[in-house]
Amino acid sequence: MAGNPTITALPAPRTKQAPRSFNGLALDVRSCANLLGTTERAVRGMVSKRIIPHRRISSRLVFLRSEVEKWLENLSGCSLDEAEQNLALRRGDR
């Protein structure tokens, strides 16, 4: 019949899932990104380049918190002690 438009249902909005960690030992992509202060896309990019330690359970990416923290500690840059020494030098402390 003319005049009766067809009503179609809109897809349900996607809800954001909370980051998952398993006893704080293993992290999913989102919780790993939160830990690193970056995006899920950036984490997936590091995985594809095999830059960050990870595991796969079927198709799911899993990160061991201890390995990610150790990986962070071994990145180039300055340590907390070096940063504090540099700050003291800038202030004139010795």
The reported pLDDT for the residue numbered 89 is: 92
| 13-52: pLDDT as tens digits | 555 665 565 677 999 999 999 999 999 999 999 999 999 9
Instruction: Enter the pTM of the model.
Output: 0.67
- Contact indicator for 47, 54 with CB cutoff of 8 Å: yes
Question: What are the residue boundaries of the structural domains of the chain, listed by start?
Answer: 21-91
36-40, 51-55, 65-69, 78-82 — which is least confidently predicted? 78-82
Provide the residue type at 40 as one letter: E
In angstroms, the CA 26 to CA 76 distance is 24
Structure tokens, 80: 């907390």
- Contact indicator for 47, 61 with CB cutoff of 8 Å: yes
In angstroms, the CA 88 to CA 80 distance is 12
Instruction: Kindly indicate whether the domain formed by 21-91 is annotated with CATH number 1.10.10.
Output: no
Please say if the pLDDT value at position 68 is more than 70.
Answer: yes
